[in-house]
């Protein structure tokens, strides 16, 4: 899938199934087990247990050696927690780097607009993208499986309904620089979002995150994380959805 097409309004209007090459084939045992699951809770347990075994993510025993207790193993859960605390920190850089690697969508912002290359903003992003704190333990492969699992769960158990799109909201105070067509004052416009972006299923929750409230219709095939996908409270309180970015047609309203 060419990146310009994936990030376009045309793709959002007429989405096509996305697959990360080789991910399901290399973990055929996982998806065979998932196919036998009778409900979403059982599938979550299977997925999380598989990744624990495959990437050594289980917590060490209390009697483990001190060096093992101190050892940091990058995991998709820690990465998501880091994103939730600061999308412009090292965890955010690794997630943006994964999207760049797998889908070809180049980030547009990390602490500052990423325009001319090279630049101090780009150098800072590249340094954080390669940080060993998060960028180790095959973190890209973990994210590959998370994306494929999300798509499997959406199709199998209809976590967000049975359609092809979902209504999402995003609060922001920096919308003006993201507009590529139209105007926020005209209510309907096209914005260019970062290569991975947070939305919310809740209008009221999104309204707390900025002066402008953007409503978008996002294709399910561009989603990486949705509420109910994982048995964790990370990001759950905000009904947060992580989606691949690019151009989105939005309806904008100014908050009170």
Q: For residue range 75-116, list pLDDT tens digits in order.
A: 999 999 999 999 999 999 999 999 999 999 999 999 999 998
Dihedral angle, C-alpha 242, 247, 249, 251, nearest 10 °? 60
- pLDDT given for residue 226 in this prediction: 95
First to last CA, the chain: 40
So what's the pLDDT on residue 208? 86
Domain count, the chain: 1
Residue 122: domain span = 3-254
What does the alpha-carbon distance between residue 167 and residue 118 come to, in Å, rounded to a whole number? 37
Q: Which residues pair with 220 in a beta bridge?
A: none
Check whether 214 has a pLDDT greater than 70: yes
Mean pLDDT value of segment 204-214: 89
The stretch 43-50 carries a mean pLDDT of 96
pLDDT of 233 > 80? The answer is no
> pLDDT band at residue 186, thresholds of 50, 70 and 90?
confident
Residue 131 pLDDT: 84
Average pLDDT over residues 38-43: 96
Half-sphere exposure of 109 (CA within 13 A, CB side): 15
Looking at residue 132, what is its pLDDT?
83
pLDDT at 43: 97
Q: List phi, psi (to 5°) of 237.
A: -60, -25
* Predicted TM-score (pTM) of this structure: 0.93
């Amino acid at each position: 899938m060419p990146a310009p097409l994936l990030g376009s309004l045309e793709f959002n209007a007429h989405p096509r199934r996305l697959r990360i090459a080789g991910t399901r084939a290399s973990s055929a045992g996982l998806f065979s087990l998932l196919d036998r699951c009778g409900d979403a809770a059982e599938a979550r347990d299977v997925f999380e247990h598989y990744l624990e075994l495959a990437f050594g993510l289980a917590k060490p025993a209390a009697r483990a050696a001190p060096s093992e207790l101190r050892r940091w193993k990058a995991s998709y859960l820690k990465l998501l927690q880091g994103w939730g605390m600061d999308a412009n920190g090292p965890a955010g850089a690794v997630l943006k780097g994964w999207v760049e690697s797998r889908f070809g969508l180049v980030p547009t912002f990390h602490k500052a607009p990423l325009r001319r290359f090279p630049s101090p903003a780009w150098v800072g992003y590249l340094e954080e993208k390669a940080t060993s704190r998060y960028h180790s333990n095959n973190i890209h492969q973990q994210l590959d499986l998370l994306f494929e699992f999300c798509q499997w769960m959406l199709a199998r158990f209809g976590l967000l309904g049975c359609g092809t799109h979902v209504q999402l909201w995003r609060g922001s105070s920096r919308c003006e620089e993201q507009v590529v067509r139209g105007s926020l004052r005209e209510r309907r416009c096209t914005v260019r979002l970062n290569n991975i972006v947070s939305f919310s299923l809740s209008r009221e929750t999104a309204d707390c995150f900025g002066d402008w409230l953007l409503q978008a219709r996002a294709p399910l095939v561009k989603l990486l994380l949705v509420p109910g996908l994982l048995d964790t409270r990370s990001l759950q309180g905000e009904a947060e959805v992580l989606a691949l970015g690019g151009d989105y047609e939005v309806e904008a309203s100014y908050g009170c």
